[in-house]
């Protein structure tokens, strides 16, 4: 069972609703995770999220990856004293495309198809 596997791996500390266990084990949910495309490559800091998305996908859940548009341009300001310079739109597009290819290689499967929904170039479904 998926919930028990996540718990065994130390990925569940506590849950606020016991229904989550039933949903993870018996239903097919849509799960999303967001990533800021501040670089053209995934890094070790993304590993846990990507591994968990893969586990959820293998458990029959649909995966949605959201690549930040505006947040990608400014980056994560936490822990910074100075404001970061804005990323150029062309570089942002290149980073998004590069990350799309990487996610495609890591997550492609029955519950993950690579592509951008019409009108939203920052979501990979």
Which domains, ranges and CATH numbers included, belong to the chain? 28-124 (3.40.50.620)
Residues 38 and 87: beta-carbon distance below 8 Å: yes
- CA 24 vs. chain centroid, Å, equals 18
pLDDT digits (tens, 9 = 90+) for 74-123: 766 666 677 777 888 899 989 999 998 999 888 887 666 666 665 565 56
Residue pLDDT, tens place only, 8-42? 999 999 999 999 999 999 999 998 898 988 899 99
For every residue of 15-72, which 3-state class applies, written as one string? CCCCHHHHHHHHCCCEEEEEECCCCCCCCHHHHHHHHHHHHHHHCCCEEEEEECCHHH
How far apart CA 66 and CA 98 sit, in angstroms, is 14
* Rg from Cα positions in the chain: 16
Predicted confidence (pLDDT) per residue in 93-105, tens digit:
899 999 989 998 8
pTM: 0.79
Query: Whole-angstrom distance between the N-terminal and C-terminal Cα of the chain?
Result: 25
């Amino acid at each position: 069972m998926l919930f028990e596997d996540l718990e065994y791996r130390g990925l569940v500390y506590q849950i606020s609703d016991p229904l989550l266990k039933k949903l993870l084990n018996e239903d097919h949910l849509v799960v999303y995770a967001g990533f800021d495309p501040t670089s053209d490559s995934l890094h070790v800091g993304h590993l846990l999220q990507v591994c968990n998305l893969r586990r959820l996908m293998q458990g029959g859940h649909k995966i949605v990856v959201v690549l930040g548009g505006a947040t990608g341009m400014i980056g994560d300001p936490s822990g910074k004293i100075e404001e970061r310079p804005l990323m150029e739109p062309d570089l942002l597009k290149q980073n998004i495309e590069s990350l799309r290819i990487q996610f495609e290689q890591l997550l492609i499967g029955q519950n993950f198809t690579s592509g951008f929904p019409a009108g939203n170039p920052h979501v990979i479904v």
